[in-house]
Structure 1
Amino acid sequence: MIRTGIKPPGLREITKIQLSLKDYFLGDEYRTHSIFTGVHADRMRNAQKVENKTFEDLRFIRLGSGKGGNGSVSFFRDSHTPFGPPDGGDGGDGGNIYIQVVEGLNSLHRLNKSYQAGYGESGKGSQLDGKNGRDIILEVPIGTTIRWIPDPVSIRRSIRRLKDRLDMVNLKMGLVNNEIQLYREDYQPGDGWIFKERDEEYQRERDYFNNLNERVKVYDEEIIFEERTNDRFPILGIDLNKPTLQPVLLLKGGKGGMGNMNFLTKDIRNPRFSKRGRNGIQEYFLLELKLIADLGLIGLPNAGKSTLLRSISKASPRVGHWEFTTLQPTIGTIQTTIDKEPFTVADIPGIIRGASQNKGMGLDFLRHIERTKGMVFVVSLELEDAVGDLQTLMQEVGDKRMQNKKKLVVATKADLNESSGNYHVLKDYVDSMSWKILPVCAKQDENIQKCIKLMSEMV
């Protein structure tokens, strides 16, 4: 027999809003533009060809939770009971979609573009409920953020139609307490019946069915209320900045439909109908990886960052004398002494003037220094205007990223002659900001241990 509780209260009022794509991504129009137009993907492919290393830090993904199984229409039968009571079981619930942070991962490239959780199985006779659908658990690196997005294809078309004006590409959404209300298309309360032998028109003309359906409507409303409550996602996304002990639920599967054993009443002795399973929900998300490292190495192209990282760590970045040698981030682990925990340093591709406006590959990788405890600015003394180069790096990184972080300037390619004019000018400028500065010559391992000591103190 079907059981229903008190009719749920009306859904909390949903606020309809309209945001431009630029505002939705908090003004970061350049990175947004590159991911939606495919520019970012092209850069990643080129980097993978050059460095023979697979790395991906931005990815669209389509996720679909499973549909619930249908309820069964069945009656008990044996040699002594040719016309027994209804015994159709309920359908299984559809599979859920979860996400979990796993240590040891440092890229999103292993994720598929689309995931579909399993469908719930239909109920069977002998009061056997259907099996629940298979759940999906996405495993992502520490530092991954996930945000809801509309269908990327429609967004890409709008960007093209509006000639790259991201401030004019509008997203319409409903909000409940700063959460985006998601919707699954499915039957309304009192619908979703499966009829056997007699069609729907026949049943809806019968008082016994209409009386039953009024009670089932309350049950349907409870299910829909639960769906609406679950089908919400934070407008600012979820920041997975530490390992999760339990998977985080993203999308919940559809509820299984009721079998005909639920509809036995004094007026309905042979219910030849059951309920369909509820649909799952399909949505698109943008996953962004911001590498977790203690320190970030920041420098112009060919400033000697990779050579420095190789000298102070166990990492083996590619070293060369051409610009943009490093095309993908590299993380090095530095062990100081046995009694101290090691710390990590991230080497990001060289920053050029205009990186904050998406010139070069700057914006593709500046995200990887946002979580660091400190920043190590690498400036080459071979160049004529070392102070100007440092100012360029500071301008492109921005005050917001540098806020509340410790800073160190490493002057590379030095002969350790601190009276050198270039170094002296740079040191005076750094001292005026109360930062620390150290000249090193990584190729000759000069001042490397002192550099490691200063970095350790920053951490």
Structure 2
Amino acid sequence: MSFPKRWAYMIPNPISYSFSFMGMLKKVMNMFVDKAKIYVKAGDGGNGAVAFRREKYVPRGGPSGGDGGKGGDVVLVVDGNLSTLQDFKYKVHYKAERGQNGQGSNKAGKSGEDLIIRVPPGTVVKDAATGEVLADLVEPGQSFVVARGGRGGRGNARFASSVNQAPDFAEKGEPGEERWIILELKLLADVGLVGFPNVGKSTLLSRMTAARPKIADYPFTTLFPNLGVVDTGPTGRSFVIADIPGLIEGAHQGLGLGHEFLKHVERTRLLVHVIDAAGLENDPIEGFYVINKELENFNEKLARKPQIVAANKMDLPQAKENLARIKSHLESKGYEVIPVSGATGEGLRELIYKIIQYLDKIGDEKPETVEVKKYTVKEEDEIKVRREGEIFVVEGKTVERLVAMTDLDNESAVKRLQRAFKGLGIDELLKEKGIKEGDTVRIGNAEFYYTEMK
């Protein structure tokens, strides 16, 4: 193949998505984002240098070009002091430092600094293009390299041989990895309050903790999950409780923002299922099973989590009339029913201590996490050739890296690249696809005219 026809390099347009909710932990905190889409770009490797020794008493000084430095990685690190993805709402693009170029006298370039991006505990990292879960970051200090920096190009001193004692070319630095990723935050709470809208979950949270969620007598008052800490005082025991916005039938399919809410339940160790014992809007027992079915349809493990039933609104006469029927039915199914009233505070002390008993029984189990992906270098990298109209496209990490690290304006470097193509069998693959003299070949971001090597 001949000299390059043209280069075509493109960075995706910036697109971001975020979803906000109010987080509270003993006091009202700032608006909270639990989903963000960001672009990360690791640093490119530095270019290798082309240089020759020019000392006075060394008449035949050899090549002395040093290697380029490695590009910086983009690293996600869990910071226990963070509880929101808010920062990613305002900044979408993140780029690590590139490696410095090599210099003469065999001086290597300095490696680029890694870019550290801090995220809160409970952050799930996904590849935006494929949806693949790359990492589930839970523990403070846990880290994950989400984009790897490029290797530094080799200087011309590295290509000296008995055949070519004065190489006049060097490698360019390898481009750093780049990708769009999605960050999703799942609340790390011990207890989750679940139930239909308007059953009184927010009122219970405000009574049990110092959180101050918005409360009113209409459905979907709570549009975002709220967090609070229950402190039992003299016992020294405390736990974090999350008020999950009211679920509706079809929540597992995304109705009523069901997916956005249900994901926060996955981290909890215990569920407190709040029902409207007065049955003002639906039968409390039927409603109980509807919500549990939604949990099961979203994730079977959710339905198997331990549950305490909080029969709320016991200040109303209808609730007192229904209580016996509710307890008889649900307790026969193995659920403990605690009658409470968010309005008067009745039964809340009993509910809190029952929660502590359950948490003690469950123990300090940690939420399930996805194993952090690790970069591995494959021993074999399959090279494929396909046609895109009149263009022959060659794909494979090895050959794409070779092209990216070749100085295509240097004739010696291009001849070396052509020899590498032949050694990799690319010419034969192209002939099998019917390539002819003068046809266009695309490898990575470069395009070439095809010519037979003599």
The TM-score bracket by the shorter chain reads: 0.5 to 0.7
Matches within 5 A, 1:365-384: 365-384=261-280
Helix, strand or coil at the partner of 1:275 = coil
1:412 to 312, 319, 334: 312
| In structure 2, distance between residues paired with 1:418 and 1:405 | 30
| In structure 2, distance between residues paired with 1:79 and 1:314 | 80
| In structure 1, distance between residues paired with 2:235 and 2:320 | 38
Helix, strand or coil at the partner of 1:420 = helix
Matches within 5 A, 1:298-337: 298-337=194-233
Q: Which residue matches 1:444?
A: 344
The answer to whether the 8 A contact 2:278-2:318 is kept is no
Matches within 5 A, 1:243-262: 243-245=140-142, 247-262=143-158
Letter in 2 for 1:452: I
Q: Which residue matches 1:114?
A: 93
| In structure 2, distance between residues paired with 1:90 and 1:244 | 33
The answer to whether the 8 A contact 1:349-1:361 is kept is no
Shift in alpha-carbon separation, 1:338–1:277, aligned structure 2, 3 A? farther
1:457 and 2:357 are equivalent in the alignment:
yes
Provide, for residues 58-77 of structure 1, a one-character-per-residue CA deviation record: whole Å limited to 9, x for no partner: 22222222211111112334
Q: Which residue matches 2:118?
A: 139
| In structure 2, distance between residues paired with 1:88 and 1:435 | 75
| In structure 2, distance between residues paired with 1:52 and 1:293 | 16
1:392 and 2:371 are equivalent in the alignment:
no
Q: Which residue matches 2:74?
A: 97
**Cα distance, 1:263 vs structure 2:** 3.1
Shift in alpha-carbon separation, 1:333–1:52, aligned structure 2, 3 A? closer
In the alignment, structure 1 segments of 5+ residues that lack a partner are 1-36, 151-170, 172-233
Q: Which residue matches 1:426?
A: 326
Helix, strand or coil at the partner of 1:261 = helix
Q: Which residue matches 1:174?
A: none
Provide, for residues 19-74 of structure 1, a one-character-per-residue CA deviation record: whole Å limited to 9, x for no partner: xxxxxxxxxxxxxxxxxx99x85xx36x67xx995222222222222211111112
57-66 or 342-351: which moved more?
A: 57-66
Letter in 2 for 1:237: L
**Cα distance, 1:268 vs structure 2:** 4.1
The answer to whether the 8 A contact 1:75-1:83 is kept is no
Normalization by structure 2: what TM-score? 0.67
| In structure 1, distance between residues paired with 2:242 and 2:39 | 30
Q: Which residue matches 1:54?
A: 31
Shift in alpha-carbon separation, 1:147–1:272, aligned structure 2, 3 A? same
Question: Aligned residues: percent identity?
Answer: 34
Q: Which residue matches 2:134?
A: 237
Shift in alpha-carbon separation, 1:244–1:329, aligned structure 2, 3 A? same
Aligned residues: 334
Q: Which residue matches 1:280?
A: 176
The answer to whether the 8 A contact 2:314-2:320 is kept is no
Q: In proportion to residue count, which structure has more helix?
A: 1
Helix, strand or coil at the partner of 1:55 = strand
Shift in alpha-carbon separation, 1:404–1:353, aligned structure 2, 3 A? closer
Q: Which residue matches 2:391?
A: none
Cα RMSD of the aligned pairs, angstroms, is 2.8
Q: Which residue matches 1:184?
A: none
**Cα distance, 1:414 vs structure 2:** 1.1
| In structure 1, distance between residues paired with 2:288 and 2:117 | 40
Helix, strand or coil at the partner of 1:54 = strand
Shift in alpha-carbon separation, 1:373–1:141, aligned structure 2, 3 A? same
Shift in alpha-carbon separation, 1:338–1:131, aligned structure 2, 3 A? farther
Letter in 2 for 1:396: E
Normalization by structure 1: what TM-score? 0.66
440-449 or 79-88: which moved more?
A: 79-88
The answer to whether the 8 A contact 1:416-1:440 is kept is no
Q: Which residue matches 1:86?
A: 63
317-326 or 382-391: which moved more?
A: 382-391
